[in-house]
Amino acid sequence: MAQRIEHYALIGDTRTAALVGRDGSIDWLCWPRFDSDACFAGLLGDDSHGHWRIAPKSGDVRVTRRYRPNTLILETRFETPAGAVTLIDFMSQRGAGSRITRIVRGERGSVEMHAQLVLRFGYGAVVPWVTRLDRHTIVGVAGPDKVVLRSDVPLRGENMRTVGDFTLAEGESRHFVLAYAPSSEKPPEPTRPDEDLRDVEEEWRRWASRGRIDCPWNEAVTRSLITLKALTFHPTGGIVAAPTTSLPEKLGGPRNWDYRFCWLRDSTMTLLALMNAGYYDEAGRWRDWLLRAVAGSPNQMQIMYGIAGERRLTEWELPWLPGYEGSAPVRVGNAAHSQLQLDVLGELMDTLHQARVGGIETATYGWTLEIEFLKHLEKIWQKKDSGIWEVRGEKQHFTYSKVMAWVAFDRAVKSAKAFKLPGDVARWEQLRRTIHADICDKGFDKDRGVFVRSYGAKDLDASLLLLPTVGFLPPTDPRIIRTVEAIERGLVLDGLVLRYDTHEADDGMPPGEGFFLACSFWLVDAYLMLGRRDDAVTLFERLLSLRNDVGLLSEEYDLKAKRQIGNFPQALSHLALVNSASNLAHSEKPAEQRGDGNEQKPLQEATA
């Protein structure tokens, strides 16, 4: 069975990624891309669905692990009564193509080790034809896929598995390299693992040294930035929400989604996190991916795309996989890609505006494209939609969706004025006023004095924490203050925030999910904007304590079970961490930088 989600660590090569457990087992890997079929799918089933374990034979093992500082190189130390060894895991794309390198080094005494490889292509369904070229090399082929394992440990076949036994004394090392290639091509050439290790370490440290957020939480910020870099598909600049599919939002439940795609919902937060940290090249490539992905007819805009901008993300189920701890069904693809979500149009406009403000040059067709999307939004902003959380029940007039429609026209006005761009500014200003008034009338509960999840509703939504962040109203407005306080009472427990009350909301799914970590960071930002800095710092450090032993966060946290749940590691959680740290560290760069210069007045002034 797979381990607890937080017992995994990430390695990757900015094209795909693998999850390595504390027991030395790689239980998840899609090759050659993040969204390819998995060849190790044990994470969603058991060992027979694919894994690669290297560990001591002894069951009496103490495990500690770390990333080498400022890298994505994982070191797992196994200590047994007979001695200690360190397993070094990393991925590289240099030279011979994508590959995983595993180096085992003896640290003390003498330790008997066992290596076991179970290749299963097609998400655990396809057993490859395995050929042993010699005692140290095997090749596995099935359909379009081929992998080659080379090792200085003798390998043998045993019960549809490839295994190897060896004893490691202090000062000795053994090497394993698993490389991918299309089955129609020649096997990848051998590599020099120790040289590869030095090169990869140097590359990661050079990249990490460019980060410029200086705060008391530098280690956590750097680890989050490295994680975001690892979730970037280098050929296109797209960033996946997570490298996994179907890790549950509730253990044993059906809320299991494929997150190996790029969400427009996250686009402005992504851009700002990268720019605030000094990674303007990566921010520019993300912006370029966004423009390419949405290019075309505005009425065909999607809420998410594939890592190269693919639009067809058909959802289907894998009945042969039982799911993580029985959480079924296991899904590939995501049907939500075809939903109408008004908020993504605001995200598009905000991202491109923030890129201009940050000095990132926009493609020549960018503004023309934006004007066409504004024309489309003018026609549809009054429609019901599925909302930021992609509910699969009845569409509603979600308040946050309307706010982001307001953001779209607000940013159009600001870009046109600041950068002298052509457009019907007077028309956009009128639409901005109309939408703002509509939200304050219909998305506001006058009896309680708070904004609500959807028009006419009584329930709350964590996305309302972003209203001052995007500049819809100043954080000093009593409507904002009361809304934050209502969310504290209704959606917060032990400092953690629910997206919404799934027991009350009709979203087409059974009730129950964990506390959403990104929303909890949004509460940090809200506290900071409301002048509650001590509360902001306390909550931020509480959230940092939920990271696993190597600094990674999933999508959600189960307070009752005290464990991470949801797809892992989650880009949005780490984006929110970086942005909150930046907000706390830079008084001249407040949390509401997205809405800086907004023209809305506080309630007491607006009604005076």
Beta bridge partners of 80: 83
The Cα–Cα gap between 289 and 322 comes to 35
Strand 51-56 to strand 99-118: parallel, antiparallel, or no bridges (unpaired)?
antiparallel
**Mean per-residue pLDDT, 424-449:** 98
Q: How confident is the model at residue 603 (pLDDT cuts 50, 70, 90)?
A: very low
CB 223 within 8 A of CB 67: yes
Supply the mean pLDDT for the chain. Answer: 93
- What are the start-end ranges of the H helices in 496-586? 517-529, 533-544, 571-585
**Cβ atoms within 10 Å, residue 532:** 15
pLDDT at 605 over 50: no
Q: How confident is the model at residue 6 (pLDDT cuts 50, 70, 90)?
A: very high
Q: How confident is the model at residue 189 (pLDDT cuts 50, 70, 90)?
A: confident
Tokens 């896929």, residue located: 145
**Mean per-residue pLDDT, 128-143:** 93
pLDDT the model gives residue 392:
82
Beta bridge partners of 524: none
pLDDT the model gives residue 501:
85
pLDDT at 63 over 90: yes
Percentage with pLDDT > 70 across the chain: 95
Length of the chain: 608
The Cα–Cα gap between 81 and 61 comes to 8
pLDDT the model gives residue 403:
98
Distance, first Cα to last Cα, the chain: 64
User: Tokens for 208?
Assistant: 């990490």
pLDDT the model gives residue 595:
79
pLDDT the model gives residue 406:
98
For the ranges 70-84, 119-133, 197-211, 585-599, the lowest mean pLDDT is seen at: 585-599
pTM for this predicted structure: 0.95
The Cα–Cα gap between 121 and 38 comes to 6
The Cα–Cα gap between 325 and 580 comes to 33
pLDDT the model gives residue 587:
63
**487-514 pLDDT tens trace:** 999 999 998 999 998 765 445 544 578 9
**158-173 pLDDT tens trace:** 988 999 999 999 999 9
Identify each DSSP E strand in 57-212 by its residue range: 62-67, 74-80, 83-92, 99-118, 129-134, 137-142, 145-151, 156-157, 162-169, 173-182
Higher pLDDT, 111 or 587: 111
Per the rule left: phi > 0, alpha: psi between -120 and 50, beta: everything else, 303 is alpha
Q: Which residues have CB under 8 Å from 342's CB, separation 6+?
A: 377, 380, 381, 383, 385, 398, 401, 402, 404, 405
CB 358 within 8 A of CB 280: yes
Q: How confident is the model at residue 582 (pLDDT cuts 50, 70, 90)?
A: very high
* Domains in the chain: ranges and CATH: 5-208 (2.70.98.40), 218-594 (1.50.10.10)
**314-349 pLDDT tens trace:** 999 999 999 999 999 999 999 999 999 999 999 999
User: Tokens for 549?
Assistant: 């032993």
pLDDT the model gives residue 604:
42
For the ranges 58-62, 86-90, 405-409, the lowest mean pLDDT is seen at: 58-62
CB 75 within 8 A of CB 67: yes
The Cα–Cα gap between 576 and 553 comes to 11
Which one, of 580, 598, 343, 355, lies nearest residue 464 by Cα? Answer: 343
Q: Which helix (H) or strand (E) holds 27?
A: strand 25-30
Q: Which helix (H) or strand (E) holds 351?
A: helix 343-357
Rg of the Cα trace of the chain? 25
Higher pLDDT, 16 or 58: 16
**Mean per-residue pLDDT, 122-126:** 97
**465-491 pLDDT tens trace:** 999 999 999 999 999 999 999 999 999
Q: What is the largest CA-CA distance in the chain?
A: 85
**Mean per-residue pLDDT, 371-389:** 96
The Cα–Cα gap between 242 and 240 comes to 5
**387-429 pLDDT tens trace:** 999 888 899 999 999 999 999 999 999 999 999 999 999 999 9
Q: How many CA atoms lie within 13 A of 474 on its CB side?
A: 14
User: Tokens for 224?
Assistant: 């989050």
pLDDT the model gives residue 462:
97
Which one, of 601, 583, 603, lies nearest residue 593 by Cα? Answer: 583
**Mean per-residue pLDDT, 17-21:** 98
The Cα–Cα gap between 307 and 24 comes to 29
pLDDT the model gives residue 607:
34
**Mean per-residue pLDDT, 286-311:** 96
The Cα–Cα gap between 252 and 288 comes to 39
**259-290 pLDDT tens trace:** 999 999 999 999 999 999 999 999 999 999 99
